[in-house]
Amino acid sequence: MKQLPNNFESALKSYLKKTFYPGTRKEDFSVRDFTEGDYRFFAKGVGRLTEYFTSDRGSLPRNYFNQKDLRSGYLFYFLPVNALKVAGLLNYIPDPFFQRPLKVLDLGSGPGTGMLGVHCRGAPMCAPSEKGQTHGSAPTHHYTLADQNRDVLQDALGLKTALGIPGELRIRAGDLLNNSLAKVVPPEPYDLILLINFLNEFSSERRASLLDILLRRYLAPGGRILIAEPALQRITRELMELRDELLQTERGHVYAPCLHQEACPMLAHNQRDWCHIYLDWERPRWIEKLDRMLHLRKEYLKSSFLILGNEPAPTYTAETWRVVSGHINSKGKSEMLLCGPGGLPQLKRVTRLDRDQSPANQDFDRAQRGDLVETVVGDRLTKEKKFRVR
């Protein structure tokens, strides 16, 4: 389970007050403890942003971080939540990838969400010692953050210092669309490129062409691109379409969550479902409080994502599957959908009747959306259209 750095809550609260109170009637409160009044002050922006992101996206101002309440609301709530998502999603990239200093590029970085996620990926790094030094010998990464909004990039710099995140940080401000990417971020090889809650702000043609440029001109050989999006049906199905288009045009390879490079079976055979995962988390106290104040629900973290690269992805045997649904329970049975090379071109429906429940098949109950499962039934799971677990 991923955690934020120990000093995160106090560093964030003091950063918020120091940055957003000067020039307001709250100026005198900027160095005092964080009170109920401070919660109320910053919760307003969280509430407005939530409304925009969930039901009123069309009226979100183009450069919304120009509005201080929206920017501070983002820092207070969305930054920590999204950073923990990134940390969890990076687990889908095998460990050895992170055991060297990486050049990380985060596009549409906001206040440094991707950087914080990479920092939190190795749990020991998130437990700074008393002197502010991090434990362990985790490599120091080099970060380049790009965003249209200068102020939010300054927040990234301020928070990096406040949190003691090691490594060099370059910030690049400018519009990353309309062929201006190279002007803002000159092409050079990056090991890890992050597009976190960013692509859905653009049309599908623009997403595809941006991805194409990144794969050809920005991604180092063997590097990875992580795209993460909110686990909403429309946005995720668009991401599934983008994946299929990328593979059809042979512009890149998919490493996760897919275990194959064929057309997405969920997209092809089902009009409704969307491929997303749940990540374990321990909700930080102040997030819990904001959830209560604003009637939000962040009891669990959900995300849809893709991990892409420019080198062929590993191939999996017909015994390895990804769980792509929750438990679908109905009278007398529980079912689950699996995706993997063995089931193509369909998803595989696996059923366990309640009367068959036994210690021998308890892994069926434990399996969760997003898990990788190995089967021990040889090719029976591949051959049988509907598989019954006994």
Ligand X SMILES: C[S@@+](CC[C@H](N)C(=O)[O-])C[C@H]1O[C@@H](n2cnc3c(N)ncnc32)[C@H](O)[C@@H]1O
Provide the binding-site residues for ligand X, judged by CB under 6 A: 65, 78-79, 82, 108-110, 113, 147-149, 152, 175-177, 196-198, 201
Residue nearest to ligand X (CB): 110
Q: Given the complex with ligand X, which of 196 and 307 has the nearer CB atom?
A: 196
Q: Which amino acid is at 14?
A: S
In terms of phi and psi (left: phi > 0; alpha: psi -120 to 50; beta: otherwise), the region of 174 is left
The DSSP letter of residue 192 is E
Q: Given the complex with ligand X, which of 113 and 382 has the nearer CB atom?
A: 113
Find the shortest distance in angstroms from Cβ 196 to ligand X. 4
Q: Given the complex with ligand X, which of 154 and 368 has the nearer CB atom?
A: 154
Find the shortest distance in angstroms from Cβ 85 to ligand X. 8
Find the shortest distance in angstroms from Cβ 197 to ligand X. 4
d(CA 158, CA 161): 5
Q: How far is CA 52 from CA 49, 88, 107, 252, 276, in A?
A: 5, 25, 21, 33, 22
d(CA 225, CA 303): 16
Helices (H), the chain: 8-20, 36-54, 68-73, 79-89, 113-121, 150-163, 181-184, 204-213, 233-248, 265-269, 285-294, 362-366, 380-383
Q: Which residues of 99-110 are buried (b: 16+ CB within 10 A; e: fewer)?
A: eeebbbbbbbbb
Find the shortest distance in angstroms from Cβ 366 to ligand X. 30
d(CA 39, CA 13): 10
Find the shortest distance in angstroms from Cβ 177 to ligand X. 4
Q: Given the complex with ligand X, which of 44 and 150 has the nearer CB atom?
A: 150
Q: Given the complex with ligand X, which of 110 and 342 has the nearer CB atom?
A: 110
Q: Given the complex with ligand X, which of 65 and 364 has the nearer CB atom?
A: 65
Find the shortest distance in angstroms from Cβ 201 to ligand X. 5
Find the shortest distance in angstroms from Cβ 277 to ligand X. 16
Q: Given the complex with ligand X, which of 67 and 357 has the nearer CB atom?
A: 67
Q: Given the complex with ligand X, which of 65 and 321 has the nearer CB atom?
A: 65
Find the shortest distance in angstroms from Cβ 110 to ligand X. 3
d(CA 16, CA 13): 5
Q: Which residues of 320-337 are buried (b: 16+ CB within 10 A; e: fewer)?
A: bbbbbbeeeeeeeebbbb
3-state secondary structure of 301: strand
Would you say the C-alpha torsion 6, 10, 16, 22 has a positive or negative sign?
negative
